[in-house]
Structure 1
Amino acid sequence: MSPRTGRPTDSPKRHDTRIRMSDEDIEILEYCCKATGKSKADVIRDGIREVYAKIKK
């Protein structure tokens, strides 16, 4: 059996981060996921990149 498992990717996700969220934050996140068809992780990554782009201007 191969030592590598899962799908091959050009952008491996090796780090985990945990956050605490309010009920309201969860509702907003779930709404965004349903509206965009993206996963929670993808919506959060997009948000991080959006904030980073604003800071870098």
Structure 2
Amino acid sequence: MSSKKIGRPPSDKPKSQTIEIRVDQEIMSKLDAAADKLNTSRSAIVRKGIEKVFDELQK
């Protein structure tokens, strides 16, 4: 028999850090709307926002 593991392959950049934030209902609604429109997760939207702010600061 093959000794291959079943499941996802290991990630090159594993996401092992967790951030917990408090937001009001308006921000949560905007986050959910953006995630729905882009067909992605809340986490992906937050990561994209952090990258965008960081890139703007580098200019």
TM-score interval w.r.t. the shorter chain? Answer: 0.7 to 0.9
Task: Show structure 1 runs of 5+ residues with no match.
Answer: 1-5
**TM-score using structure 1 length:** 0.86
Deviation of residue 25 (structure 1)? 0.3
Are 1:40 and 2:38 an aligned pair? no
Residues 1:52 and 2:58 are matched in the alignment:
no
How far apart are the structure 1 equivalents of 2:34 and 2:20? Answer: 19
Question: TM-score, length-normalised on structure 2?
Answer: 0.83
Q: CA deviation at 1:11?
A: 1.1
Q: Which runs of 5+ in 2 are unaligned?
A: 1-6
Task: Give the length in aligned residue pairs.
Answer: 52
**RMSD value over aligned CA atoms?**
1.1
Q: Give runs of ≥4 in structure 1 deviating > 3 Å.
A: none
Q: Which has the larger radius of gyration?
A: 2
Percent of aligned pairs with the same residue? 31
